[in-house]
Amino acid sequence: MTTAAKRYLVTGGAGYVGGVVAAHLLERGHRVTVLDDLSTGFAEAVPAGAEFIEGRVQDAAQWLDGSYDGVLHFAAFSQVGESVARPEKYWENNVGGTTALLAAMRSAGVRRLVFSSTAATYGEPEAVPITETAPTAPTSPYGASKLAVDHMIGGECAAHGLAAVSLRYFNVAGAHGPLGERHEPESHLIPLVLQVALGRREAISVYGEDYPTPDGTCVRDYIHVADLAEAHLLALVAMTAGTVPAGEHLICNLGNGNGFSVREVIETVRKVTGHPVPETTAPRRPGDPAVLVASAEAARERLGWTPSRPDLADVVADAWAFARLRGEEGA
């Protein structure tokens, strides 16, 4: 996957996934500029060696020019619950911001885009594992905003010769050295369970234990953030090599090939950390499907992507190392 050094703009590169992808780009010798308004990201998450611009993606035209070989777009709000309470925030940022970004790319002649999409575009699936041909029926403004952006990108590719890859995935976890998951407030399962192991939370809540799954709890797809970063880099390689040519919008689902239940995650945290993790049961949350697992066959066929860290214990171990590092730093 070695390619000549290029220059990339990473929007939202002070966030969790964007920061790890920026780090991977730098490790491959590329020049990276991170654009982030720090509304949900952290300046210290911008990897060393990247140029950092504190600004909004809506204003990308101020900085984007023809010297860039492509854009990797992560600058989106992503909290499902908040999107239900404040849908206008998600339409303005996720859709409005991307509209401005596409216009800036068109004006500058930058013709390659990797978009961090989401499997939430599918809503509650009719069948699993979920393929790219599954009906899209998002159940939240967040998912709807991401689907709208995918439609926008498809139109841009057809009309103006953009080459683009949208990557759809569910749950990202793990860490890449000092770059890991941190949200305020935290809503993702693995970091929440690790907070219990660290003694920062009394117990983890299990929402529903009567689902039609082997242990009665929800099953979800988890992908290591470093594997996710590799998929983004492979998407750039595919566009540079012409296997995703100008005018094509390729959509690929990403997953580890297996799902893990809530109780499997909790038990894995216990084994990896050596700490007890008390749990409490709570009623099901409305709209929580029993099983969400994505098929990654298209990503394997078109991008040559295969996750190298599919084991849940490896994902948890890296997340645990990052959580302890943050604890030592008093973060």
User: Annotated active-site positions, please?
Assistant: 142
Phi/psi at 87 (5° precision): -60, -30
How many C-beta neighbours within 10 Å does residue 241 have?
10
Peptide bond into 185 cis (omega under 30): yes
How many C-beta neighbours within 10 Å does residue 224 have?
25
**CA–CA gap between residue 290 and residue 197 (Å, rounded):** 26
In sequence order, the 6+-apart residues with CB closer than 8 A to the CB of 255 are: 129, 169, 170, 221, 223, 293, 294, 295, 296, 307
- Site of tokens 């039609």: 212
Q: Is 292 exposed, middle or buried (0-12, 13-18, 19+ CB in 10 A)?
A: buried
Phi/psi at 274 (5° precision): 75, 15
